[in-house]
Amino acid sequence: MTMKYVILIPAYNPDSRFVDFVDILKAECTHPVVVVDDGSKAECQAAFAHAEDAGFLVVHHEVNRGKGQAIRTGLQAVKEHFTDYDPQDCVITVDCDGQHNLEAIQKVAGCAAENPGALVLGGRFQDEEEVPIRSKIGNTLSRGVFKLVTGLKIHDTQTGLRAIPFSLLDRMMELKGDRYEYEMNMLLYLKEWSIPYAEVAITTIYFDNNAGSHFNTFRDSWLIYKQIFKFISASLISFAVDYVAFLLLVFLFSKTGLNDWRVPLSYAIARVISGIVNYVLNSKVVFKAGGARTFVGYFVLWLVLLGLGSGGSYFIQDLCGLPDVVSKICIDAPLFILSYWAQRELIFKKKAGND
């Protein structure tokens, strides 16, 4: 069975390149097209009228609501108007500024046909010298942070060219984020929802150093990265609680007859306090996955890390004669990485189908 797809174009204040793209799609593409006017100014309405004349379905927002909401509106329109499509058929989101040509769309569609049920990304892999510096820096940073947080390797986390299976439309419409963070949220939930993904290399066309992009480097980067940083903020808070408690306890034990054991005792008690804080934050705020299973798993992990950390810090201090805080840092650095991996992959990993 041949896979069918609908092209979805969220558009805000499009220029002549959008009109040219409409003409190309009308002349060379046999698949239906849905356009979402995201509250564009009055002088842009002729472009949307041109799309309607081409036979495209055009949906309008009265005011600008952001790219994320425009995609959700488009997905809802697709679901309502294309009821005869199968779950493995796709909606392909395409930027309106002419960056994605018909060849790139067809490559993504072909990859989607070979990977039914997968989210397919059209990744920008071309010569780095062709990529505007703003796009290069933004994608390199987001790619690195995304890999650190999720463990998933995606070359182009900011691409707007994506094939979304009809089977995922309901979930994609439930995703939060009204602006560019919506597209990052889509990737963040790949692992949680056990959604397969594939990435295919495309050529992206940049006009005037990508000056026509509505992506605000500072505002929209923050909207994206704040969604990622919530995954590590709980660890940083717990880290601070752990070290403050450790320093206070070391000071208190140094004034008692337990001075020789001040480091392992302080480490253990501080870890109890920070462990409680970390579990509450992770289960209630970060991963939003609590219950008896996660509590038991976290407690076992906590005991393992406590033993390794307490014994390791004492061994390092006794062997090397390092200061208390330095010995703790030496053992905590690798344990932090181990703890994060275990919580992400084992403790708070949700089963497929869970929200």
CA-closest candidate to residue 184, choices 134, 138, 232: 138
What is residue 275's predicted lDDT score, i.e. its pLDDT?
A: 83
pTM of the model: 0.68
What is residue 309's predicted lDDT score, i.e. its pLDDT?
A: 79
Q: In what order do the strands lie in the sheet with 197-202?
A: 57-61, 33-38, 5-11, 90-93, 162-165, 119-124, 197-202
What is residue 322's predicted lDDT score, i.e. its pLDDT?
A: 67
Architecture, CATH, for domain 5-215: Alpha-Beta Complex (3.90)
Place of tokens 């054991």: 261
Separation of alpha carbons 314 and 146, rounded Å:
35
pLDDT 10s digit of each residue in the chain, 355 long? 579 999 999 999 998 999 999 999 999 999 999 999 999 999 999 999 999 999 999 999 999 999 999 999 999 999 999 999 999 999 999 998 878 889 999 999 999 999 999 999 998 765 554 555 655 666 677 777 777 767 788 888 888 999 999 999 999 999 888 887 888 889 888 877 889 999 999 876 554 444 444 445 555 456 556 656 776 788 788 889 988 999 999 899 888 877 778 888 888 899 889 888 888 887 777 666 666 778 888 888 888 887 887 777 767 766 766 676 677 777 777 887 787 778 767 787 655 444 3
What is residue 303's predicted lDDT score, i.e. its pLDDT?
A: 84
**Domain coordinates in residue numbering, the chain:** 5-215, 231-347
Residues forming a β-bridge with 91: 6, 164
What is residue 222's predicted lDDT score, i.e. its pLDDT?
A: 62
Separation of alpha carbons 37 and 11, rounded Å:
5
